Amino acid sequence: MAVKIRLTRMGSKKHPFYRVVAANSGSRRDGRPLEFLGYYNPMVNPAKVEINREKVDKWLKLGAEATDTVRSLLKNLP
């Protein structure tokens, strides 16, 4: 089974907060991830993104694929 780096939704109704995780591609959106990599909070202005780049690079080297949304978040990191 392939591993994807993707977002899992947290927070309450109409106040989303996302965790960036490495998870099996067949698991549920909010299922148990393999590892937490960071978070993304779109509700503050400007949006707050905190991602551990070392962990992401480790998973990418192991063959994980980032989703389109996570890929765009990674591009905007310093």
Per residue in 28-53, pLDDT tens? 888 899 999 999 999 999 999 999 99
pLDDT at 55 over 90: yes
Helical H runs in 1-78? 53-61, 68-75
Q: Where does 1-78 show beta strands of DSSP type E?
A: 3-12, 15-24, 35-41, 48-51, 65-66
Given CATH 3.40.50.1950, say whether it is the number of domain 3-75.
no
Q: Please tell me the predicted confidence (pLDDT) of residue 1.
A: 61
Domain boundaries, the chain: 3-75
pTM over 0.85: yes
pLDDT at 78 over 80: no
Are the beta carbons of 40 and 14 closer than 8 angstroms?
no
Confidence of residue 7 (pLDDT cuts 50, 70, 90): very high
